[in-house]
Amino acid sequence: MNRIALSGNPNIGKTTIFNALTGANQKVGNWPGVTVHRKEGNFTYRNQSYSIVDLPGSYSLGSYSEDEKIATDYILTGDADLILNVVDATNLERNLYLTMQLLEMEVPVVIALNMMDEAERYGLSIDIPQLECLLGVPVIPVIASKGKGLPDLVRTLAETLSLQDDDATDRPRCRQRRRGRMCTPATDENSVPIYEEDRLPHLSQMVVLCEQAGLTPSLWHAMEIYQGAMFPVPLEETPESLLEVRRTLAEDPTAYELAAIDTRYMRIHRVLSKCVIELHGRTAQLTDKIDAVVTHRYWGIPIFALTMLVVFQLTFALGQNLLGNTLDNWVSSFAATAGDALALTPLHPLLIGFLTDGLIAGIGTVLTFIPLIVILYLLLGFLEDIGYMARAAYVMDSFMRRIGLQGKTLISMIVGFGCNVPGVMSTRTLENRNDRMIAMMINPFMSCGAKIPVYGMLIGIFFPKVAGLMTFALYALGFVVAIVIAKLFSKTMFRGDSADFILELPPYRAPILKNVVRNMADNVLSFIKRATTIITVVIAMIYLLSVLPYGVEPYSAGSYLGRIGSFVAPLLAPMGNGNWQAAVGLVAGMPAKEGITATLSMIYAPGAGAGIQEALRTAFTPLSALSYLVMVLLYTPCVAVLSTVYTETKSAFWTIFMAVYTMLVGYGMAVLVFQIGRAWGLG
């Protein structure tokens, strides 16, 4: 029974072809000595059985990875009578690299040119007969996912194997003659890949040397030597022409490694230039054109800013105005009904107060911002999935470099937009300590997801017509403050050279709805989890402080809560928030930022959150609300972030430093906003 080995790059439809050929006739095991899966199956064609082995997917042959080693060893042992090389028609340059190596090995090869439909969509026109001639092996176009071309592939496999039995040396020409086609290039270009010698000195002598040393296939072994393999003969038997190569390799075994690989690519370019029209296709050109705009040196940042503005505007239009208000009505109705029902129970009034004013009103208010979060993360997930966020990171990275900051800091800043805890943790990727400290210290200025309910609440009440713009402005302000502080730190406390890196631009792709929805669902679930766990503890503490000492009027200035607030309030007067309730809101945000919304709801509108909007309109002016939002954006991060900073720096000093300096920056900016606004007559 003839044995066929299936070889190709990962994720190009190799398994689809294997399954289509073998159906249920498969055996799964492991390759000897390793845990890599080995799949083997059978198929029958014209009463002849064929065995097919699925080799591990790899980009090349050699010994750089376990998968490569397995595939290489298997092919070199000669167990397979023929190699079925699956090639992705949309990325011929990359895929033909493995083909070149197979041809060096002088093994019989049939190429299945998969994803032909995608290639056509990309605007690639491949002259398949010409490709067959240039490579000297049969090339069968297939669309494995639709089963197209597979009957022709099976027929070709059977014919090639039978021809091989007849005359192993005349395989390619036989095939061309049989098909009635003529090869246009010189026939010596067929069958064996011919490499230029300008990069690999004396390659032909090296091939002869391998042949004489009994190393076959000789071209494969010669190329291996240039890639660092041992010389096959002792020094005294080395031909004079190869002595220099030998000396160079002895000094540096990698001296010709890249040249050998580049030589194969040069051959691939020569082949493709003769048989592929529109090599880089319309889609690729379109990608380049889009990138030229969205990653433009000057336009890139305004385009990103505009994109985010649209995201926030849509978030408020759909999430807050359309869905949020409906949910708000439902929560209010539920709270009122639950309050009435609880009033009829024999429960202690303090417990009823905790349930209605605390849990239902506090958590309920936080949960009414779920639609906002749903829409925001759906939109951000979409931008992530199509590859735009990578472009955004890229343009911001270029900007950071231009102003002399470490671009990698940007990654932790973007992570910080979700939550500052992973934002701080992601600074681990910065090798330089000073860069890392800067990245860590500025991360709390990135507006995390927990602050969204506060924005939704105050912006929704005071700036409903420009809600998207206001949210965008807050995010932008956080970013600008972070950049200024980073620059300041890099010139003072944390000076030093930064490590260089290049941020990859991944290809654009069509968004996958499942990914976008799953991303959004994860965020919403984690938001609900926080709202029902950490916030419950905060609410319980706030409620307890609001009803103590025993007998005091709940939520009055005489309660412990009121006394704490009254102590802090005078400090907040310069930022226009000199009332104890606003101060308590900020204190409640120290353990977790969601606590601010819940607390404001409890203390401004006790009684299941009813009338919160009216209460806040009375307590704040638009200007004092704005300064309050700036404070929330910039002031001391939550306890979880501080604890992470301590864990990462192992320093109480830097942890306290972060808590104090962010408080001062937040306070200073809030005062600045209020005083400037008042000077302009906005107060």
Partner 1 sequence: MLETVLRHWDDAADWRALASRTGLTDAQLRNAVDDLLRLGYLQAERPSCGGGCAGCHLSSCEDMGLGRTLSLTEKGKHKSTAIQRLEKNE
Binding residues among 159-198 for partner 1 as defined by CB under 8 A: none
Minimum separation from the CB atom of position 508 to partner 1 (A): 10
Minimum separation from the CB atom of position 380 to partner 1 (A): 7
Q: Is 475 in the site for partner 1 (CB under 8 A)?
A: no
Residue type, 122: Y
Question: What CA–CA distance (Å, rounded) separates 75 from 68?
Answer: 11
562 CB burial (10 A radius; 0-12, 13-18, 19+)? buried
Q: Which of 229, 323, 505, 672 binds partner 1 (CB under 8 A)?
A: 505
Q: Is 418 in the site for partner 1 (CB under 8 A)?
A: yes
Q: Contact region for partner 1 (CB under 8 A) — 124-132, 148-156, 209-217, 514-522?
A: 514-522
Minimum separation from the CB atom of position 622 to partner 1 (A): 28
Q: Is 425 in the site for partner 1 (CB under 8 A)?
A: yes
Q: Residues in the chain, how many?
A: 683
Minimum separation from the CB atom of position 315 to partner 1 (A): 13
Q: Whole-angstrom distance between the N-terminal and C-terminal Cα of the chain?
A: 90
Q: Smaller CB distance to partner 1: residue 94 or 563?
A: 94
Q: Is 529 in the site for partner 1 (CB under 8 A)?
A: yes
Nearest to 6 by CA among 32, 45, 47, 40: 40
Q: Which of 80, 103, 261, 584 binds partner 1 (CB under 8 A)?
A: 261
Q: Smaller CB distance to partner 1: residue 156 or 649?
A: 649
Q: Smaller CB distance to partner 1: residue 8 or 562?
A: 8
Residue 41 φ/ψ, nearest 5 degrees: -150, 180
Q: Is 384 in the site for partner 1 (CB under 8 A)?
A: yes
Q: Is 432 in the site for partner 1 (CB under 8 A)?
A: no
Bridge pairing between strands 109-114 and 139-141 = parallel
Q: Which of 106, 118, 152, 257 binds partner 1 (CB under 8 A)?
A: 257
Binding residues among 323-382 for partner 1 as defined by CB under 8 A: 377, 380
Q: Residue for token digits 């000094």?
A: 251
Q: Smaller CB distance to partner 1: residue 115 or 603?
A: 115
Minimum separation from the CB atom of position 296 to partner 1 (A): 9
x-marked contacts with partner 1 along 599-638 as a string, rule CB under 8 A: ----------------------------------------
Q: Contact region for partner 1 (CB under 8 A) — 113-121, 326-334, 354-362, 411-419?
A: 411-419
Minimum separation from the CB atom of position 388 to partner 1 (A): 8
Binding residues among 83-112 for partner 1 as defined by CB under 8 A: 91, 93-94
Question: What CA–CA distance (Å, rounded) separates 408 from 331?
Answer: 43
Minimum separation from the CB atom of position 250 to partner 1 (A): 15
Q: Smaller CB distance to partner 1: residue 191 or 398?
A: 398
Q: Which of 115, 327, 393, 582 binds partner 1 (CB under 8 A)?
A: 393
x-marked contacts with partner 1 along 282-321 as a string, rule CB under 8 A: --x--xx--x---x--------------------------
Q: Which of 501, 646, 657, 661 binds partner 1 (CB under 8 A)?
A: 501
DSSP class per residue in 225-263: HHTTPPPSS-GGGS-GGGHHHHHHHHH-TTTTHHHHHHH
Q: Which of 265, 299, 646, 657 binds partner 1 (CB under 8 A)?
A: 265
C-alpha pair distances (Å), 612 with each of 361, 501, 618, 619: 10, 50, 10, 10
Q: What is the DSSP letter of 494?
A: S
Asked whether the bond before 422 is cis by omega within 30 degrees of 0, the reply is no
Q: Contact region for partner 1 (CB under 8 A) — 202-210, 259-267, 546-554, 563-571?
A: 259-267
What ranges in 548-611 are assigned the alpha helix state H?
Answer: 560-572, 580-588, 594-604
Q: Smaller CB distance to partner 1: residue 380 or 572?
A: 380
Q: Is 60 in the site for partner 1 (CB under 8 A)?
A: yes
Q: Is 396 in the site for partner 1 (CB under 8 A)?
A: no
Contact in structure between 45 and 158 (CB atoms under 8 Å): yes
Minimum separation from the CB atom of position 586 to partner 1 (A): 19
Contacts of 157 (CB under 8 A, 6+ apart): 4, 45, 50, 82, 84, 110
Binding residues among 227-256 for partner 1 as defined by CB under 8 A: 252, 254
Minimum separation from the CB atom of position 377 to partner 1 (A): 6
Q: How many residues touch partner 1 (CB under 8 A)?
A: 73
Q: Which of 246, 262, 487, 646 binds partner 1 (CB under 8 A)?
A: 262
Contact in structure between 116 and 149 (CB atoms under 8 Å): yes
DSSP class per residue in 101-156: HHHHTT--EEEEEE-HHHHHHTT-EE-HHHHHHHHTS-EEE-BGGGTBTHHHHHHH
Q: Which of 499, 512, 513, 656 binds partner 1 (CB under 8 A)?
A: 499
Q: Contact region for partner 1 (CB under 8 A) — 212-220, 384-392, 620-628, 656-664?
A: 384-392
Contact in structure between 56 and 18 (CB atoms under 8 Å): no
Minimum separation from the CB atom of position 98 to partner 1 (A): 12
Q: Smaller CB distance to partner 1: residue 465 or 650?
A: 650
Q: Which of 500, 510, 549, 679 binds partner 1 (CB under 8 A)?
A: 500
Q: Is 444 in the site for partner 1 (CB under 8 A)?
A: no
Q: Smaller CB distance to partner 1: residue 577 or 644?
A: 644
Contact in structure between 610 and 564 (CB atoms under 8 Å): no
Nearest to 58 by CA among 70, 41, 75: 70
Q: Smaller CB distance to partner 1: residue 380 or 642?
A: 380
Binding residues among 546-605 for partner 1 as defined by CB under 8 A: 594
Contacts of 200 (CB under 8 A, 6+ apart): 206, 223, 226, 256, 259, 260, 263
CA quadruple 419, 420, 425, 426: dihedral positive or negative? positive
Q: How many CB atoms lie within 10 A of CB 130?
A: 18
Question: What CA–CA distance (Å, rounded) separates 675 from 683?
Answer: 9
Q: Which of 397, 583, 616, 625 binds partner 1 (CB under 8 A)?
A: 397
Q: Is 502 in the site for partner 1 (CB under 8 A)?
A: yes
Contacts of 30 (CB under 8 A, 6+ apart): 36, 37, 38
Minimum separation from the CB atom of position 41 to partner 1 (A): 29
Nearest to 383 by CA among 314, 480, 470: 314
Question: What CA–CA distance (Å, rounded) separates 325 from 188?
Answer: 76
